[in-house]
Amino acid sequence: MLRDGLRKVITEGTGKRLNLATIAPAAGKSGTAEAGVGRPNHTWFGAYAPFDKPEIVVVAFGENSGQHGGDFCGPMALRVLEEYFQKKYPGKYTKPEVEGADKSATGDSSR
């Protein structure tokens, strides 16, 4: 039940930014912690993947970021997971498209 809930954070909740083909299916949890009166909140995001047979765990922390864990720290966790899965399993997980690139120009997947 707990693993299913953590998976739903990625597929339906605050971690949707990690629901991409660039990494193995992940599970995770975002969070916010009060930093004190007049100070911006701390945020965090923890994720592991693949969710059904974990190989890697990543925790990103945003000290006094004042934002939300999924919005601020989720992209940090995603970058680490992308690097891991794309290097460990070359060609298995699609790489993000380069913004403004012509998809049909060369078919080059080394971007």
Predicted confidence (pLDDT) per residue in 4-27, tens digit: 999 999 999 999 999 999 999 999
Domain 2-88, second-level architecture: 2-Layer Sandwich (3.30)
Closest of 2, 21, 22, 6 to residue 70, by C-alpha: 6
Residues 27-53 have pLDDT tens digits of 999 999 999 999 999 999 999 999 999
Domain residue ranges of the chain, discontinuous segments joined by +: 2-88
- pTM, two decimals, is 0.81
> How far is 61 from 42, CA to CA, in rounded Å?
7
